Structure 1
Amino acid sequence: METNWDLFLSILSMQTWDPISPQQRHGGSIVEVYRIIEETADQFFAFKVPMRIGELNSFCRGIDKAFQIYTQLVTQPIVDKEDLVPPVPVLTRYKKELGIKAFVKKEIQEVRPVDERKSSEIVQLTMSKLCVRLNSLYYAISQLGKLEDSISERWAKRQSDKINIRRSMNGKSKGIVSNQKNQFDGSRKEINAAIDRVCEFTGLKVIFWDLQQPFIDNMYKNNVLQARLDTIVEVLDLVLAQLCDVIVEQLRDRVVTGLLQASLDGLVRVILDGGPTRVFSPNDAPLLEEDLEILKEFFISGGDGLPRGTVENLVSRVRPVINLIKQETRVLIDDLREVTQGGKSKFGSDSKTLLRVLCHRNDSEASHYVKKHFKIPSSAPPST
């Protein structure tokens, strides 16, 4: 057993996360893991000693733990969202004479730089290698049922081969065999959670890391017309082509959904927390709505992409933000005043969102209001 465990860890340490073949898109490590487990099962059932259900349960718990450890090692390089997404810029207000001025110092977010080791790991997590990790996790969970059936059948055969076993014990053993279907539920839960995490990471990495400059830093910079979303969609099309070349069909929608969610997160980030180079007026709202529609239809892809209902549901959370951009400044000010006094927004918004829309509004009325009522200085606080 110990030798098999050492081999198990050695296989994982040498995994390069390249697909075995165009037909077998998972990594070789998970195939080897199953081979080791099958060999261990052979050894277990070859023991010529009496066994009770307790020994079988202990054996299954060991396998369950092995798959959970494998899953943890597969996702080990996946960093937290906070390490991947760049810090939110200092909230600013528009001022025609002086350009964009910074909020009070207490609004400044602490920059959390990614250390060199994590940065190197992120760079190495290419789309292809992320997909192979996902495919390997899917292979692991998709084969668990066969493994359970094999163990149950071998246990049943072992029990039926006993000499002089009483009929009452035969009946009991059948009940025991049926319970083996739940032995690997811990692994199933762990693997499914890991798949969700890698899907989320993949989307965030594409938008906030790989496409940080064109999307997060430059889209709508200075004005909406200067850098629209259609240029980003062209790049996303290439990303999806790479993804679909490697990912197994059963996981395609889950990964693409993660990419859509990250794209929408990026869009909201640019509109509400885009920094001093992003300013919007009500006239920009139709362009933003058009861009959102472009993004929506891109992910639906004429019926070949994600289900329309799924996309519509995710996109719906961005529409209220664009609706705020559409409103006149006086309407937004009145709504923010109502909310800060304990009332309810007529747009279903909160004070934080309303304030951010006003701070990125390119008119003096909005700038004067947020300066007066939120004590915003006319220049950036001095660095310390």
Structure 2
Amino acid sequence: MFSWSNCSAMKQFDLLLVRLKLPTFCVGKSMDDKSKSSTQKGTFDGSRKDINAAIDRIREFTGTKIIFWDLREPFIENLYKPSVSQSRLEAVIEPLDVELNQLCDIIVEPLRDRVVTSLLQASLEGLLRVLLDGGPSRVFYPTDAKLLEEDLEILKEFFISGGDGLPRGVVENQVARVRLVVKLHGLETRELVEDLRSSSGKLGADNQTLLRILCHRADSEASQFVKKQYKIPKSSA
């Protein structure tokens, strides 16, 4: 299992950080010195913003690449196929652990939490893709909600890593949006349909989310409602 203590910075990156540290400018007494110092400070402030923006883009790309490309087959394509009970998230944790350890071999300590938070966010986006846009080969039953909740806890604790990983509060905040979707999967079809018809928002979700859950629901009531409500023609098969 991944341990934060395994994270080590490469010497090249250490040197790079040293080179990127902003110099301290001495403010002279003359107006020319003050003007020059102000110009230099503005230049380096702009450089700092550009560097931070570049770091943000790289970390976002890194998390997305790992989940949606490197782990696409076990995560995006095969998780919960043919059913939740037969393909649990535990199967994804090992390759995710390998990717995270490899990532921590090349990132510097000051960037660790930012990069790993991006991986957490990408993991949750991947899970939402599976739960809401999983395609016709994925179906969910209300009874699956308990297993889905267990899997979400496994993913959460993986990133907390027994207190050595990301702060628990940060992870909990990120996980909250997926937890709502899992909760909705546990509701009866009748409850989902009633909330969708009334657009009351009582269940805490928008109509699009409710519709996607109904489209993945393996019962005739959900199928009939979706076809009738949205005028979907019957299959010719």
Which of 125, 145, 156 is residue 285 of structure 1 equivalent to?
A: 145
Moved more, 368-377 or 260-269: 368-377
1:24 corresponds in structure 2 to: 11
Take 1:305 and 1:226, find their aligned partners in 2: how far apart are those partners? 29
SS of equivalent residue, structure 2 residue 177: coil
2:77 corresponds in structure 1 to: 217
Which of 292, 303, 310 is residue 163 of structure 2 equivalent to?
A: 303
Count how many residue pairs are aligned between Structure 1 and Structure 2: 229
Take 1:345 and 1:321, find their aligned partners in 2: how far apart are those partners? 14
Take 2:100 and 2:213, find their aligned partners in 1: how far apart are those partners? 32
Aligned-partner residue type, residue 224 of structure 2: H
Take 1:184 and 1:335, find their aligned partners in 2: how far apart are those partners? 54
2:226 corresponds in structure 1 to: 370
Take 2:176 and 2:221, find their aligned partners in 1: how far apart are those partners? 30
How do 1:129-278 residues align onto structure 2 when only pairs under 5 Å count?
A: 142-143=20-21, 145-146=22-23, 149=24, 152=25, 170-176=29-35, 178-179=37-38, 180-278=40-138
SS of equivalent residue, structure 1 residue 317: helix
**TM-score for the superposition, normalised by structure 1:** 0.56
Percent sequence identity is: 60
Give the deviation of 1:190 after TM superposition: 1.3
Moved more, 204-213 or 186-195: 186-195
Question: Cα deviations across residues 296-343 of structure 1 (Å, max 9, x unaligned)?
Answer: 00000011111111111101111111111011000000011011xxxx
Higher Cα radius of gyration: 1
Aligned-partner residue type, residue 377 of structure 1: P
Question: Cα deviations across residues 242-261 of structure 1 (Å, max 9, x unaligned)?
Answer: 11112100111111011000
Query: Closer, same or farther in 2 for the Cα pair 1:23/1:336, shift >3 Å?
Result: closer
Give the deviation of 1:172 after TM superposition: 2.4
SS of equivalent residue, structure 2 residue 96: helix
2:215 corresponds in structure 1 to: 359
Please state if 1:338 is matched with 2:198. yes
Question: Cα deviations across residues 325-371 of structure 1 (Å, max 9, x unaligned)?
Answer: 011000000011011xxxx2111211111000001000111011101
Give structure 2 stretches of 5+ with no counterpart. Answer: 1-8
SS of equivalent residue, structure 1 residue 318: helix
Note if contact 1:221-1:277 (Cα within 8 Å) is conserved in structure 2.
yes
Query: Closer, same or farther in 2 for the Cα pair 1:268/1:24, shift >3 Å?
Result: same
Provide the alpha-carbon RMSD of the alignment: 2.2
**TM-score for the superposition, normalised by structure 2:** 0.89
Give the deviation of 1:178 after TM superposition: 4.5
Note if contact 2:10-2:108 (Cα within 8 Å) is conserved in structure 1.
no
